[in-house]
Structure 1
Amino acid sequence: MQDDNQDSRLAALAPDQAPGELPPQSRGAMPFAWFWPMLAGAAIALVLRIIFSGGPGQRFSPMLGSFVYFVPALCGAVTVYMAERIERRSWGYYLWAPWVATALFVGGTLAVFIEGLICAVVIVPLFAVMGSVGGLAMGIVCRITNWPKQAIYSFAVLPLVLGAIEPQLPNPDRLSNTSRTLFIAAPAERVWHELNAARDIRPAEVGDAWAYRIGVPMPVSGVTVDTPEGRVRQVQWQKNVHFEEVITEWQPNRQLKWRFRFSPDSFPAGALDDHVMIGGQYFDLRDATYTLTPRDGGTELHVAVSWRMSTSFNWYADRVMHLLLADASENILHFYKARAEAAAGAAAAG
């Protein structure tokens, strides 16, 4: 009888455990146990990134929504699943641990050279959110059901199935534009000259733009020339990038408009992230318009730029592009301001 009472007391002290649930293990069971779940999530996502190496419009392209949405969600789900096998985690863990895992995943793609810095920086916020969504979903499954393995298999299979089907569906086109205005203390004639003869552009003159900070090649020159088809502005960027801006409106000292024209060799391999080329399937610059308005003491210069976005996540990609191009437009206006005012000052002094 005494042994029965002792067994009852020990049973009362034992933690509750759902049928089929793995017994909790100690955090100290292995070195850095807190880190392994995040590393496991990042590793699974990295394997899927290698699978999703198709070209634009092909199956398993990294620009598909099935990759952009579901792979970071899987990364978060695996992180939480592995952590729950060690011990019960908090709701906060379900949200923040996937951020670390997706950051490790993106860092891994950079380390093995399958992703470029531009795309990596741009996509990190969306990956973090989708990682938290996956982590929270897996946390709920682990708390209320006894089938976490089936759930994690479903998470893993979903992007693969959709990655094979999605290219058969057309991506929506989204046309957008941005504009900026700046006063320049120089006559319109001087500003007009700088617009059409921007030579020997130094990195220090334009390097503050965020697009250039994350790896977009900086401009080297932009010069308007006469060709048999009409006026064309020939543009050179760093890394041997080159393209043309075909003049469609020409009102000296008043308005200059061009449409962008890219050729197959405009962007050498490695100049940009190879699966997101300007003028390609997913993104294109359309046109730019500069308007010069005389004001007391100088000229008001206005620039408007338009572009096309064609992805299954336009709602996100277009906002990122708007931020980058708005900042680049502001930056280029300051470039023309500095050059035009310096030239006007030199002319006045001479």
Structure 2
Amino acid sequence: MTLPHTPDHEHDPNRDPEHNAAHAQDRSDDGHRPASEPPPLPASHAVVPPPPPTPSNKPTFSNWWPLLGGALIGLILRAIFSGEEDGRFSPMLPVFLLLAPLAVGAVTVYLAERVQPRSLGYYVLAPMISTCLFVLGSMAMLWEGAICAILILPVFMLVGAFGGLIMGVICRMKWKSRPTVYSFVALPVVLAAFGVGNETPQRFEHVERSVLIQAAPAEVWKHLLDADHIQAAEVDRAWMYRIGVPTPLAGVTHRSERGLVREVRMGKGIHFRQMSSDWQPQRYVRWQYLFEEDSVPAGALDDHVRIGGDYFDLRDTTYTLTPRGDATLLTIRMDYRVSTGFNWYTVPLADWLIGDFSEVILDFYRQRAQAG
């Protein structure tokens, strides 16, 4: 019996390798994927490359080392500017007070930009935090007291933010940021070494305030000369006391050959005299200040704001009593001197603090005189 003939195209592919390879090639040529390749992923599972980094919309402070690095630069500069008050590296020179926080802000942003791009808000806020850390570090190192720190901190924060903005623009424009940040740090030292900005011009100013007291001039005059057992609650709302100046305890007057002498005692052992050779009873008195070597114990006041120091002094204080019927108009005039290289800031600041004090002390005399 004869078996039926099997066509060539029905041969077993396992028995005919050449036919199998040709068949796979034909499928590949027809646009079909060979069985050995994996099927393509669905479109919904396609791998999408991550977007390029973009500046964050808000300041990110998860990494604190740029802030600490900026503050450290400030402390290094403060250590350099720790010379004598009249020397080239005095901490009261404008080249330090303006350029040091500028460098702190620039270094902070430079270090942060090396990690990732930052936002405009970071350029402003991060340097402010760095300057605060810088000031706190100066206080911890006992280079500055609380009074100086509070008074100068607003300027430091604003200048630091400005330095951060400048460095942020430089980093975004792909300019040479490293040489620039080095220049920020070196600039105050170089300028101070050449004696730039070491002038301390003097400014003589005065503040005048008045209050109407429902008491006779004789009663007001009595309390002007003798104010004993002063309680902190009577005067501590004045801003100069809020920021750390000790409150007065007493001011008692006696006569001497030179005229009236008023012995003033304050907290933390501060004591001094007010002398007057120009007065008329129940009309006016002009006090001048006399400080001894031990009038202000060490640590009682910051050296930079000490009365009678190189940078600030109260020249005299005048009280004038003007009758107004049964009442008395009490006027105070305080003349003072400011001597810094940045009087554009210290004069308005002193004017505000002394004016605020004048209003508080006038109200103190008003309450005591009206109470009898």
Q: Report the TM-score, using the length of structure 2 for normalisation.
A: 0.81
What amino acid does structure 2 have at the position aligned with 1:197?
A: D
Q: Within 5 Å, which residues of 2 pair with 1:232-271?
A: 232-271=261-300
Offset of 1:277 from its aligned partner? 1.9
> Offset at 1:32?
6.0
* 8 Å CA contact retained: 1:58, 1:167: no
Q: Deviation string for 1:103-135 (max 9, x for gaps)?
A: 111122223322111011111110011101111
**Residues 220 and 157 (structure 1), Cα distance of their counterparts in 2 relative to 1, 3 Å cut:** same
Counting matched residue pairs gives 322
Could you tell me which amino acid in structure 2 is paired with residue 211 of structure 1? M
Alignment pair present for 1:186 and 2:215: yes
Could you tell me whether the CA contact under 8 Å between 1:74 and 1:156 is conserved in 2?
yes
Q: Per-residue CA shift, 1:227-274, capped at 9, x if unaligned? A: 232222221111111122221420111111122222322211101012
2:357 is matched with which residue? 328
**Hey, what's the Cα distance between the residues in 2 that align with 1:161 and 1:236?**
45
Alpha-carbon distance in 2 for matches of 1:98, 1:149: 17
Question: Which stretch has the larger CA shift, 224-233 or 96-105?
Answer: 224-233
CA distance in 1, matches of 2:367, 2:218: 15
Q: What pairs with 1:1-350 in structure 2 (closer than 5 Å)?
A: 33-166=62-195, 169-343=198-372
Residue 91 of structure 1: CA displacement? Answer: 2.3
After superposition, the Cα gap between the structure-2 partners of 1:25 and 1:85, relative to the gap in structure 1 and judged at 3 Å, is farther
Name stretches of at least 5 consecutive residues in structure 2 with no aligned partner: 1-48
Counterpart-to-counterpart distance in 2, 1:296 and 1:192: 16
User: What letter matches 1:281 in structure 2?
Assistant: D
SS of residue matched to 2:348? helix
TM-fit CA distance, 1:100: 1.2
- Aligned residue for 1:6? none
The one-letter code of the counterpart of 1:114 is W
Query: What is residue 19 of structure 2 aligned with on the other side?
Result: none
Q: 1:159, 1:301 → 2: CA distance? A: 48
**Paired residue secondary structure (2:330):** strand
State the secondary structure of the residue aligned to 1:287.
strand
SS at match of 2:268: coil
How many percent identity over aligned positions?
A: 48
Q: Secondary structure at the match of 1:82?
A: helix
CA separation in 2, counterparts of 1:211 and 1:88? 42
User: d(CA) in 2 for partners of 1:96 and 1:205?
Assistant: 38
User: Is contact 1:206-1:218 (8 Å) kept?
Assistant: yes
Counterparts of 1:163 and 1:318 in 2: how far apart (Å)?
24
Deviates most, 305-314 or 220-229:
220-229
Structure 1: 5+ residue stretches without partners: 1-12, 17-23, 344-350
Q: Distance in 2 between matches of 1:87 and 1:237?
A: 53
Higher alpha-carbon deviation: 183-192 or 232-241? 232-241
Larger Rg: 2
Measured after TM superposition, the shift of residue 164 of structure 1 is: 3.1
Q: SS state of the match for residue 86, structure 1? A: coil
Mapped to 1, the partners of 2:105 and 2:233 lie a distance apart of 41
Q: Contact conserved, 1:66 with 1:166, CA < 8 A, in 2?
A: no
Deviation at residue 167 of structure 1 after TM alignment: 7.8
Aligned-residue RMSD, C-alpha: 2.3
Q: For 2:248 and 2:176, locate their aligned partners in 1 and report how far apart those are by CA, in whole Å.
A: 55
